[in-house]
Amino acid sequence: AYQMANIGAAVFVATLVAIAMVREMGCLMTGIIMSGRTGAAFAAQLGSMKVNEEIDALKTFGFNPIDFLVLPRMLALIVMMPLLTA
């Protein structure tokens, strides 16, 4: 703020701080919201599949449930998170 006052731009300090906070906090908030929302959704769906014995059926057919159910979701998160925070 002192340097901005030296060049006569002290009125822009609040605007610059607001812009910086939005840019930094936007990415952080997106990460927190996405982890909570998608984590809960993934846990609910996988829990329901466990109760309905769908995961056991995948094992019976010879599929690895981790590769079939978890890996595509993690790949989608890895690809989409940078696009959501940009």
For the packed helices 13-51 and 71-85, what is the interaxial angle rounded to 10 degrees? 170
Predicted structure pTM score = 0.67
Model confidence at 53, pLDDT cuts 50, 70, 90, reads: very high
User: CA-based angle 27:73:84, to the nearest 5?
Assistant: 20
Q: What local confidence, expressed as pLDDT, does residue 71 receive?
A: 95
Determine contact, residues 14/64, Cβ cutoff 8 Å: no
pLDDT of residue 44: 96
- pLDDT confidence of 9, banded at 50, 70, 90? confident
**Residue 65 pLDDT exceeds 90:** yes
Alpha-carbon gap, residue 59 to 46, rounded angstroms: 14
Residues in the chain: 86
